[in-house]
Amino acid sequence: MLSKSLIAIMCFMFVLGTSTKAQDFEYIGAAKCKPCHNAAPKGKQYDKWASGPHANAMKSLSNEKSMAYAKANGIADPTKEKSCLKCHSTFHAINPDLNMSLKEDEGVSCESCHGPGSKYKSPAIMKDLAKSKANGLIVPDKALCVTCHNPENPFHKPFDFAAYSAKIAHPNPSK
């Protein structure tokens, strides 16, 4: 009997420890990424994101095509519709308890693709990929992208990960 109780307690502690660690990673928002990721020697990654489709995803919900789709499908306002917001705004896709300073109008923020930045944002950690990953950094892959770029999306087109990721690439030329 004691061994079953001990096993149950150990399992509970493992689950608790795992969920507590996962909750340590909080969303800081693109403005916190900008100071280090907008220098010319590092490729001006922030500017590339800011001028691209992900940063402007919230704005796209107000365009003529989105409004026509909404009207035809009984959606009063796509900028307030949960099924639209989950992919057009990182702010609406995350657990609100983990939001430090992410803003709704960021659209698909840096952290949608790269994970919550609270623990890996420091230059000392960012210089080491393994440390960055251990502190929440995600290296995006096709599986991550297709959480939104899929047939559930009413404007879905066949998704070619290599082609689309090349369009939004923002490499750091100093590495």
> For the segment 25-43, what is each residue's pLDDT rounded down to a tens digit?
999 999 999 999 999 998 9
The amino acid at residue 92 is H
- Residue 27 β-bridge partners: 99
* 13 within domain boundaries: no
Q: Would you give the distance in Å from CA 27 to the centre of its chain?
A: 9
* 174 within domain boundaries: no
100: domain CATH number is 1.10.1130.10
* 152 within domain boundaries: yes
Report the 3 state secondary structure along the chain: CHHHHHHHHHHHHHHHHHHHHHHCCCECCHHHHCCCCCCHHHCCHHHHHHCCCCCCHHHHCCCHHHHHHHHHCCCCCCCCCHHHHHHHCHHHHCCHHHECCCCHHHCCCHHHHHCCCCCCCCHHHHCCHHHHHHCCCCCCCHHHHCCCCCCCCCCCCCCCHHHHHHHCCCCCCCC
- Residue 99 β-bridge partners: 27
The rounded radius of gyration (Å) of the Cα atoms in the chain is: 19
Question: What pLDDT does residue 23 have?
Answer: 55
Question: What pLDDT does residue 174 have?
Answer: 80
98 and 92 in contact (C-beta within 8 Å)? Answer: no
Range of the structural domain that residue 148 is part of: 25-167
* 131 within domain boundaries: yes
d(C-alpha 135, C-alpha 77), whole Å: 37
> For the segment 130-156, what is each residue's pLDDT rounded down to a tens digit?
999 999 999 999 999 999 999 999 989
**Which regions of the chain are under pLDDT 70?**
1-23
Q: What is the dihedral of CA 140, 63, 150, 109, to 10 degrees?
A: 20
Could you give the number of structural domains in the chain? 1
* 107 within domain boundaries: yes
